[in-house]
Chains A and B, each alone.
Chain A
Amino acid sequence: SYEMTQPPSVSVSPGETASITCSGDKLGDKYAFWYQQKPGQSPVLVIYQDAKRPSGIPERFSGSNSGNTATLTISGTPPMDEADYYCQAWDSNTAVFGGGTKLTVL
């Protein structure tokens, strides 16, 4: 079955740029989606189709996807973006999530 790998944790200083990667075999041939989940809350879609932002998602969130790696980038990271982030893609009609990355802003 298809697997996607994320780093368990990423740390960033407030106002700096955070990058969270998601690796999978030929992931660049698929669309990548990214979700933010804060403690005790439901996930929120922040990036779809590799690089598009849903309505209401701040411009500081951006995405890219090429080769075997998709990347979520948060520019000028504020403390409120501290959360778990999950990548997701489709393989053989099955939705697959990465294991998640805890973003710490300190």
Chain B
Amino acid sequence: QVQLVQSGAEVKKPGASVKVSCKASGYTLTGYYMHWVRQAPGQGLEWMGWINPNTGDTNYPQKFQGRVTMTRDTSISTAYMELSRLRSDDTAVYFCAKGEVVASGYFDSWGQGTLVTVSS
């Protein structure tokens, strides 16, 4: 069965960067888009972008352009999301979510989430 296992919780200082990993199993990473979604404490879901694991192409919404970088290592079926210049309002749970074979589709499997806390 499809499983996405994310790296553990992180505590970072403002201005630092964080890199979250998402290891995929039960399917071929390169066959489906991978998305990242975050959720601030007590708040709703916010999409951060996608990566095409086959080509490495990425798409980020304007809000995150210049601060987020999505990459992948196909040899270990793992996707990564790095967010730089962290601020306190970046404190959130970050999820990876498996997409479809097309970019603009649904998210049918989600990782368990990684809590990133930004605090001085």
B73 at interface, CB cutoff 8 A: no
B104 A43 Cβ-Cβ under 8 A: no
B104 A42 Cβ-Cβ under 8 A: no
B80 at interface, CB cutoff 8 A: no
B44 A43 Cβ-Cβ under 8 A: no
Q: How far is the CA of A96 from the CA of B46 in the complex (A)?
A: 7
Report B41-62 residues with CB < 8 Å from chain A CB: 44-47, 59, 61
B47 A96 Cβ-Cβ under 8 A: yes
Residue of B nearest to A96 (CB): B47
Size range of the interface on B? 20 to 34
B95 A42 Cβ-Cβ under 8 A: yes
Supposing A93-B103, A95-B35 touch, asked if A35 and B45 sit within 8 A by C-beta, the answer is yes
Q: How far is the CA of A86 from the CA of B43 in the complex (A)?
A: 11
B59 A45 Cβ-Cβ under 8 A: no
B32 at interface, CB cutoff 8 A: no
Q: How far is the CA of A35 from the CA of B97 in the complex (A)?
A: 12
Q: How far is the CA of A48 from the CA of B47 in the complex (A)?
A: 17
Chain A residues contacting B112 (CB-CB under 8 Å) are 42
Can you identify 9 A-B contacts, CB atoms within 8 angstroms? A33-B106, A45-B107, A48-B105, A48-B106, A86-B44, A94-B61, A95-B104, A97-B46, A100-B44
